[in-house]
């Protein structure tokens, strides 16, 4: 978001808000909930504004801010999933927070907003949950809970149920909430158990399975590229092309050409 130089007011609302600066540094005079700070606002600086609290920012030059919003109910649900007492978690107004994880989530959101193709809803849910987890970890000026040793995993049968469901529904918009219900756990627990069990996140697992399924269709069917994209769960052909290029380092055209060259060899071998 482009913010013109000068004074801007943001009234309190029902959502928690974060503002991450990503443009050139500017001198800023900021007030949130009675707190005031004069500072040089640099790329990666994050202001946290809890729900119900307004603020004002006066900048000496135009600036660029990524604004993220989060409903308090999501924070409550994630806190309960983490075994925290949601009633004791207080999100405080904070200026110029420097946090690598919050910044990483913000940059992932920014990249998605600027992308030519829409992300899988699964990815957006993962980012929202990751943001909620990090805000809870750092609420009240606290620190993240220590990591537990001996990571828990899904039982083999339950993991098989999940992966078979994903495989059977690659052409659908998969949702974390649906997978959590299938596994009988919370969304936060699902993310942790799935990563511990497979070594990758739910989103990355789904992306790789879609890519592999699309590659298999290119080599074994006469379906068009646009048909394959939809069958494998991609939003459209260009979405599939960019994802396959990122994951495999090849374009669908290159994969199809390789498959067409390989099939005649197989036929000759079968006749001998």
pLDDT, tens digit, for every residue of 208-249?
999 999 988 888 888 899 999 999 999 888 889 988 888 888
pLDDT, tens digit, for every residue of 64-114?
899 999 999 998 888 888 778 888 888 888 888 888 888 888 888 888 888
Q: How many helices (H) and strands (E) does the chain have?
A: 10, 9
Identify the CATH assignment for 2-141 out of 3.40.50, 2.60.120, 3.10.510, 1.10.10.
2.60.120
Average pLDDT over residues 153-175: 91
Which class is 156-270 in CATH? mainly alpha
Tokens 């380092």 — which residue?
A: 249
Same fold, 2-141 and 156-270: no
Cβ neighbour number for residue 188 with a 10 Å cutoff: 22
Would you kindly state where each structural domain of the chain is located, as residue ranges?
2-141, 156-270
Distance CA 83, CA 190 (A): 14
Give whole-number Cα distances, 200 to 62, 96, 195, 240, 241, in Å: 40, 32, 5, 20, 22
């Amino acid at each position: 978001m482009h913010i013109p130089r000068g004074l801007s007011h943001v009234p309190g609302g029902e959502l928690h808000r974060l503002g991450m600066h990503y443009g050139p540094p500017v001198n800023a005079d900021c007030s949130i909930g009675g707190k005031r700070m004069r500072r040089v606002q640099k790329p990666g600086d994050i202001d946290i504004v809890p729900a119900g609290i307004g603020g004002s920012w006066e900048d000496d030059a135009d600036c660029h801010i990524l604004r993220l919003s989060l409903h308090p109910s999501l924070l409550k649900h994630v806190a309960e999933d983490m075994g925290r007492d949601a009633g004791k978690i207080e999100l405080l107004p904070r200026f110029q927070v420097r946090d690598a994880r919050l910044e990483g989530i913000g940059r992932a959101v920014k990249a998605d907003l600027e992308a030519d193709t829409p992300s899988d809803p699964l990815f957006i849910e993962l980012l929202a949950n990751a943001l909620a987890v990090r805000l809870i970890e750092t609420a009240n000026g606290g620190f993240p809970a220590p990591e537990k040793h001996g990571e828990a995993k899904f039982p083999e049968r339950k993991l098989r149920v999940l992966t078979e469901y994903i495989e059977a529904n690659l052409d659908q918009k998969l949702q974390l909430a649906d997978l959590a219900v299938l596994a009988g756990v919370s969304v936060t627990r699902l993310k942790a158990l799935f990563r511990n069990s497979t070594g990758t996140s739910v989103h990355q697992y789904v992306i790789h399975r879609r890519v592999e399924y699309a590659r298999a269709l290119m080599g074994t069917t006469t379906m068009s590229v646009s048909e394959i994209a939809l069958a494998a769960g991609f939003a459209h052909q260009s979405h599939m092309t960019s994802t396959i290029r990122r994951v495999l380092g090849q374009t669908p055209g290159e994969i199809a050409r390789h498959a067409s060259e390989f099939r005649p060899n197989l036929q000759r071998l079968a006749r001998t």
